[in-house]
Amino acid sequence: MPDAQQLAQQILDSVGGSANIADVENCMTRLRVEVSSPASVDLPALQATDGVMAAIAAGSNLQIVLGPGLVDRVAVDLEALRAAAPPAAAGGAGASSAAAASGASGASGASPEDLAARGASIKASARSRSDGRTMRAIRKISAIFIPLIPALIACGLIAGINGILTNLGWVPGVTPFLGVLSSGFLSLLAVFVGMNAAKEFGGTPILGGAVGGIIVAAGVANVTVFGETLAPGQGGVLGALAGGILAAYVERFMRRVTPDVIALIVVPTVTVLVAGSVTLGILMSVAGVVSVAIGTAATWLLANGGAFAGFVLGGLFLPLVMTGMHQGLIPIHTTLIDQTGWTVLLPVLAMGGAGQIGACIALWVRFRSNASLVRTIRGALPAGFLGVGEPLIYGVTLPLGRPFITACIGGAFGGGVVGLFDQLGHSVGAIAIGASDLSLIPLLNGSSGYGWALLGYGSGLIVAYVVGFVATLLFGVSASVKADLEEQSAAPSGDPVAPDAPLDVQVTPADSVGAAR
């Protein structure tokens, strides 16, 4: 396992030093670094760094895939190194030499890094074309919700355990206790969304939380707007999101026009008064209508589109992950959970990762004598089974081209099965986000209860695994790539392939065009 502090130092050197870093944030698997000068970034050295699964540059935004757990430690160490480094010393000759050393070490070509670098190269061109206002807005909104995912997972798992115990009738005295543990955070979700929204848009988090708290306040039931009596929680996370963003803009304006001597009193008061009034008088009603529309549309889509809708959604999810656009679905999932208790979209979309697992197992079976490829797949599969598909995307299927497409086919068929259950009246939902594949099983629920949800989701997983496996085994590798992989499987002069032998697979444009799109 790479040392987090050493890896943080190598990343700092490769991106041009602390003076070239404008902002650092991370999600569950990726480190996002905003740089001042993209030209100062040594991307090849970064891609070749041990521990970096992929590094993608899209303008001034770098996305460095490290994997779960490690990304959190590296983010902390990188921030500490930034704080300790003198500004004038950043990005100097030391950085260049370190980057060169890193590039030299990568030149020896360990297979995981080689494949990851190739996958990053394919993705970089697609990301550079899509790094417009839409993608920047998606990243900004997703940054509001991503910090909430660990709590959503924890509370969702506790709620799932509590639901199973309740259905089985075991330890009845424990279920109310677990119910409180699981519902406390969710009941105040609007507050946390408001806080993060204000912070992300340049305001004070606690003021955004104060505005978000209006939505869940019990006294809302005494307020009538346009002849309609409001209800606590109306508008949900969408109302809190809009209210928190508005609070940030009001606060920033007030700080510009308010004298310093009275700013401490005037700025927060006017911020809460104005943003809170607009939230109470307009945003709650509007967001309530939008929330209901989202829930109705998602339910209608799978209830009527059924297998076809599931097929399309399951097949498109991996390309969304590849471009990072899947983060834009987080507010939709959260809205559905807040409104109905579960999201019917997540179990369908999770089939994309299951199809990829089947595809990678097929590659393992077909080229099991290729030690480098097997080592890459073996290292990434455990994360894949737990719902983290990026190591497999960037390390295996995307750089090889066709397996990415056959993985999508597996995901499409799995999604079709889950969609069929929805169409038959047994909706399959997830009560929390942030989990996928096997880790989503404890979080299942639906209109017919946990049993039907488990049957629908489990059936979809099996179909996605099998179809992804068979499609990849039959059609997943072109003749040229197959020849390269088999050639490396056979050692010169009859000697076995060394465990650390580099894997040099030449992917032609025809092989990778589907993945690049």
pLDDT at 413 over 80: yes
Tell me the mean pLDDT in the region 126-133.
51
- The span from the CA of 370 to the CA of 503, in Å, is 9
Q: What angle, rounded to 10 degrees, do the helices at 509-516 and 402-423 form?
A: 40
Q: Tell me which residues are annotated as active site.
A: 27
| Greatest mean pLDDT range, 78-87, 321-330, 468-477, 508-517 | 468-477
pLDDT at 516 over 50: no
Q: Which residue has the tokens 């999508």?
A: 408
**Model pLDDT, residue 110:** 39
Positions of E strands within 93-189: none
**Among 37-41, 447-451, 468-472, 487-491, the least confident range:** 487-491
pLDDT at 148 over 80: yes
**Model pLDDT, residue 380:** 84
Whether 516 contacts 507, CB under 8 Å: no
Q: How confident is the model at residue 257 (pLDDT cuts 50, 70, 90)?
A: very high
- The span from the CA of 482 to the CA of 347, in Å, is 33
Q: How confident is the model at residue 474 (pLDDT cuts 50, 70, 90)?
A: very high
pLDDT tens digit sequence for 104-113: 333 333 345 5
3-class secondary-structure state, position 501: coil
Tell me the mean pLDDT in the region 89-117.
42
Q: How confident is the model at residue 99 (pLDDT cuts 50, 70, 90)?
A: very low
Pick the closest to residue 22 from 61, 66, 65 (CA basis).
61
Q: How confident is the model at residue 116 (pLDDT cuts 50, 70, 90)?
A: low
**Model pLDDT, residue 171:** 67
**Model pLDDT, residue 23:** 84
- Tell me the average pLDDT of the chain: 81
Percent of the chain with pLDDT over 70: 83
Q: Which residue has the tokens 């970096």?
A: 52
Pick the closest to residue 328 from 414, 243, 241, 213 (CA basis).
241
**Model pLDDT, residue 489:** 59
pTM of the model: 0.70
Q: DSSP of 352-403, one letter per residue? A: HHHHHHHHHHHHHHHTTT-HHHHHHHHHHHHHHHTT--HHHIIIIIHHHSHH
pLDDT tens digit sequence for 166-204: 777 766 678 888 889 988 888 899 999 999 999 999 999
pLDDT tens digit sequence for 422-451: 999 999 999 988 788 898 998 899 999 889
Tell me the mean pLDDT in the region 257-279.
93
pLDDT at 37 over 60: yes
